[in-house]
Structure 1
Amino acid sequence: MNTLGLSMILKMGCICTKEHLNINGIKYVVLERLGEGGFSCVDLVENTTTKKKYALKRITCHSIEDQKTAMQEINYYKKLRHPNIIELVDSTFKGSADIVVHATSEAFLVLPYYKRGTLHDYLTLRSFNKNYLDAKDILRIFSEVCEALKFLHDFTPESIAHRDLKTANICLTEHADPILMDLGSCAPAKVQICGAQDAQKLQDLAAERCSMTYRAPELFHVESYCVIDQRVDIWSLGCVLYAMMYFKSPYDIIYERGDSVNLAVISGTVHFPQEAPFSEDIHDLVRYCLVVNPSERPFIDAVIEKTKEVKNKIETIV
């Protein structure tokens, strides 16, 4: 085979490997895979006309129930409009999951692309040299995350809980403003549990959808008769604040050690490094969120007020 022929085959091969998609009349080319989860994957795509880049979330649906869950996520994106919550650019379904064996559909969600990635990515990079964030920057980012949660928790006609708040679900803009993403775990905040069957169902859903090292204690062992509310997010918020100081959730450290996250969470014990460069006031803010008994845990308004107090103290010292 001559060089020209080989060159043509290689070029054709390159063209074939790039997937092209048409979403509601807009053409996109897939550039690379950004990440994969248990229920979906995210690709970096480019609008072939404007050359603008987006994050494309693809959810494979194996049943009608999966389709309903994906549609629910899309609906949450559409109605939850806030500067610190990711917006939905476009969406569509392809195919149809039904009772036919092996029939699947796919949901496509076009979302903004943030070059800086997630808060988790940013903290991982800084962790290599133990390059701690400044306390003022931590509290600024934390305050904005709190405002996004307040919007969810105060939403009418029904309060909404995120239920999977973690550093990997917070993107950062070019100016390091946090953007809450992945609304697939969102649900009505208040859940009345009436019996063992209800309890087991929610516990299984939490194990499936809520990351273990950020999961509230009441979701590890759901009581047969109780009310679960938006304060599951306050626990996760405390873990996020800890991670912004020490690069990981306090329970990531437990998990990596091979110890029981379940037992550690239920005990409510939080260890702060001795060489900590942060004031006890910020540690107290973490403890304020990480209250094991959900009925004693604060609501988001109280956390916002407490955060303002800590910010004022730090600014006064500086």
Structure 2
Amino acid sequence: MWVKALSSILSFLLMGTSLVDAAVRCYDTGNFTTNSTYVQNRDLLLASLLPNVSANGGFYTESVGQVYALGMCRGDSTPHGCYTFLNSSIHDLISSCPNQKEAISWGVNGPYIARYSDRPFFGILELEPSDAGYNRADITSNLTEFDIVWESLMDRVVRKASNGTSSLKYATGEAEFTAFQKIYAVMQCTPDLSNKDCDSCLRATVSYFESCCHGKQGGYVQKPTCWFRWDLYPFYVSNASTSVPSLSPPPPPASPPPQSVNSTNTKERGGSSSRTLVVIVVPIVIVVAVLVILAVAVLLRRIKKTKKDDQIYKTRVESLQFDFNDIRVATDNFANANMLGRGGFGSVYKGKLQDGRKVAIKRLSGNSAQGEQEFKNEVKLLAKLQHKNLVTLHGFSLEQKERVLIYELLPNSSLDNFIFDPTKRLLLNWETRYKIIEGIAKGLLYLHEDSQYRIIHRDLKAANILLDEAMNPIISDFGMAKLFTADQTRADASKIVGTFGYMAPEYALRGQYSVKSDVYAFGVLVLEIISGKKISTFSNQEGDSLVAHAWRNWNEGTALEVVDPILRDCSSEIMRCIHLGLLCVQENIADRPTMASVALVLSSNSISLAVPSRPAFSMNSTTETATMAESSSLSNQSKTEGIQVSVNEASISELDPR
């Protein structure tokens, strides 16, 4: 009991967040018919993978007729994790490849491999197809020195994994780059490979990563017979067992032998039992003691690291604090001539700091929806985020009842001032618009997956996308952002805040928000950028919203009607982006892609897209309040509540990290 509990503690302390999304590849080697013997045998084999993978230490192969199947769990997976992720892989495989004769799924946070084929592939080295991903942030330290440490670690882990057994070829490793930074890596082969083939496969994954993603802060490569991932934080159980624990229930204990009435034999057995008890108990006590020491050591290390990180962030936040009188000087006492704009939150001024930096200064009004605590939370959040597609916080001031945020000054204002302006829109050719779409996707991906936090923006819209001098997009205004824990997928809001048109329906009606809420808003933005039309003011003869208009024309084969007329060359890339936008605004939350999938689609034209289903409704109202049709599902109150929305698209900010 103690061993199991302490193992769970260690697993919790050492496991990291997921980087790897589910990936499925359907081979183009032929199809089968719905009622054929092949599909029956395939489904039978896939159904047998879960219990057999568990019973055989995390790896199992089997064939029936002309169907061959393989299942494998990650070397450090818990029984629950193995079952959950492998089960998900099998479902993804069937749904994504309904009639292909060969397919593979690596699962989430791989490798939880489920694979089948109409040809024997057991024990054969295969390097294609491949799946790869990487963190968007770059290595900021000495890259040459980093490469030396990284390559040495990869070589060491490759050799360790390839020298594994016929039941498990799995290894982890770590290397210290600086006093404050370590590199962590994990590798695994299907154990039916020879040691030589495993070595070749893993070295191919490392080479693949170096060619595609050199200089990035972590990533992964998945191939049919091996997998590797590395990052700058511990994301695996470093002391995991060499085999995956069985998911099958333990066998019942053997019946005790009948007792003898002979007193002499009883005493002899008693002495023997005592010795046996000592032999059993002493090792258990030692194991428990070691686990306790390890658990305490890991916990103390975590606490020490957390305190160190907190001190670093505290120092950074303190360094960002400005004297309010310096801000008065920078803006010429908030002169009207320096005002860049005004909204529901307050006013924005251009200014020049004492060190010569030109900045944008947001001065929150006294009746702004943000309170003092929310303001502090926003400062702390932005101080921790660093990405080229996210706004940079230069400083803040919180004194004399004034709340001021100081940002980088971006010369081209916001996207809505370009895309919806009949004259400025002419400056946005398709190449520029595509760059803007791609940059927004990268910024959201960082918020959702690649930063050390999971952040939901909740107010993504054209007015909150700033443009730098090269027309690169910068996501701004984190007043409504929500901070999620690593394993949190959604939350409920007691008060709805945001901008109609960009709100996902599950949030607008029921107060439920998640990363898919941002995906919905991104889809609306994509359709706005392509059409040059504003979601809140668009209307056609049928009275459709912009989303409904795009959906109608897509279905009728007249998608050209959605495209801004100034984009005369209506390329297949534009049609692909309309397709992507419609996938993002689907009514079913589960059908919407993740931002990792979106970024992958935007970076490669070879990725096939699913057929979009019916989009969710789109609200066009820009009035200050609207009645909720389903307010009872939002709270236990019987009265109808109002939704706070943006007036003239100025955000109403309410940041409440979770």
- TM-score, structure 2 normalization: 0.37
Q: Amino acid of the residue matched to residue 473 of structure 2?
A: P
Cα pair distance change 1:64/1:283, threshold 3 Å: closer
Q: How far 1:65 sits from its partner (Å)? A: 7.0
Residue of structure 2 equivalent to 1:220: 508
- Which of these residues, 235, 248, 254, is aligned with residue 520 of structure 2? 235
Residue of structure 2 equivalent to 1:82: 387
Contact 2:601-2:607 within 8 A present in 1 as well:
no
Q: How far 1:268 sits from its partner (Å)? A: 9.2
> Which range is displaced more, 184-193 or 229-238?
184-193
Q: How far 1:32 sits from its partner (Å)? A: 2.0
Contact 2:503-2:521 within 8 A present in 1 as well:
yes
- Which of these residues, 344, 361, 369, is aligned with residue 38 of structure 1? 344
Cα pair distance change 1:130/1:106, threshold 3 Å: closer
Q: How far 1:138 sits from its partner (Å)? A: 2.1
Cα deviation, 1:129-169, whole Å, max 9, x if unaligned, reads: 86384333222221111111111101555410111111111
Residue of structure 2 equivalent to 1:71: 376
Q: Is 1:274–2:561 an aligned residue pair?
A: yes
- Which of these residues, 23, 41, 55, is aligned with residue 324 of structure 2? 23
- Taking only the aligned residue pairs, the percentage that are identical comes to 22
Cα deviation, 1:227-273, whole Å, max 9, x if unaligned, reads: 6311111111111111211223445414x99x697xx8799956556
Q: Distance between the aligned counterparts of 1:129 and 1:63, measured in 2?
A: 31
Q: How far 1:72 sits from its partner (Å)? A: 1.4
Larger Rg: 2
Residue of structure 1 equivalent to 2:405: 109
1:1-318 matches, within 5 Å, as 22-23=323-324, 27-28=329-330, 29=332, 30=334, 31-47=337-353, 49-50=354-355, 52-61=357-366, 66-95=371-400, 105-125=401-421, 127-128=422-423, 131=426, 133-154=428-449, 158-189=453-484, 190=488, 201=494, 204-206=495-497, 210-222=498-510, 228-254=513-539, 269=551, 274=561, 276=563, 277=568, 278=570, 279=572, 280-310=575-605
Q: How far 1:106 sits from its partner (Å)? A: 2.0
> Which range is displaced more, 22-31 or 38-47?
22-31
What's the secondary structure of 1:184's corresponding residue? coil
Cα pair distance change 1:63/1:216, threshold 3 Å: closer
Cα pair distance change 1:232/1:119, threshold 3 Å: same
Q: How far 1:291 sits from its partner (Å)? A: 1.1
Larger relative contact order, structure 1 or 2 (CA cutoff 8 Å, min sep 6):
1
Contact 2:324-2:399 within 8 A present in 1 as well:
no
Q: Distance between the aligned counterparts of 1:71 and 1:167, measured in 2?
A: 25
Cα pair distance change 1:267/1:231, threshold 3 Å: farther
Cα deviation, 1:69-117, whole Å, max 9, x if unaligned, reads: 111111121111111111111111123xxxxxxxxx2211111111211
Q: Distance between the aligned counterparts of 2:552 and 2:384, measured in 1?
A: 36
Contact 1:242-1:249 within 8 A present in 2 as well:
no
Q: Distance between the aligned counterparts of 1:282 and 1:244, measured in 2?
A: 10
Residue of structure 1 equivalent to 2:105: none
Cα pair distance change 1:33/1:301, threshold 3 Å: same
Q: Distance between the aligned counterparts of 2:449 and 2:593, measured in 1?
A: 14
Contact 2:418-2:424 within 8 A present in 1 as well:
no
> Which range is displaced more, 152-161 or 184-193?
184-193
Cα deviation, 1:9-32, whole Å, max 9, x if unaligned, reads: xxxxxxxxxxxx953756412342
Q: Distance between the aligned counterparts of 2:433 and 2:445, measured in 1?
A: 18
What's the secondary structure of 1:274's corresponding residue? helix
Residue of structure 1 equivalent to 2:138: none
Q: Amino acid of the residue matched to residue 476 of structure 2?
A: M
Residue of structure 1 equivalent to 2:202: none
Cα deviation, 1:171-217, whole Å, max 9, x if unaligned, reads: 11111111111111111255755xxxx56x2xx333xxx11121111
Q: Amino acid of the residue matched to residue 71 of structure 1?
A: K
Q: Distance between the aligned counterparts of 1:110 and 1:233, measured in 2?
A: 25
What's the secondary structure of 2:592's corresponding residue? coil
Q: Distance between the aligned counterparts of 2:348 and 2:424, measured in 1?
A: 29
Cα pair distance change 1:35/1:288, threshold 3 Å: same
Structure 2: gaps (5+ residues): 1-321, 554-558, 609-658
Calculate the aligned-residue CA RMSD, in Å.
Answer: 3.4
What's the secondary structure of 2:420's corresponding residue? helix
What's the secondary structure of 2:383's corresponding residue? helix
Contact 2:530-2:578 within 8 A present in 1 as well:
no
Looking at secondary structure, tell me which structure has more helix per residue: 1
Structure 1: gaps (5+ residues): 1-20, 96-104, 314-318
Q: How many residues align?
A: 266
Residue of structure 1 equivalent to 2:146: none
Q: Amino acid of the residue matched to residue 596 of structure 2?
A: D
Cα pair distance change 1:293/1:128, threshold 3 Å: same
Contact 1:164-1:214 within 8 A present in 2 as well:
yes
Cα pair distance change 1:59/1:132, threshold 3 Å: closer
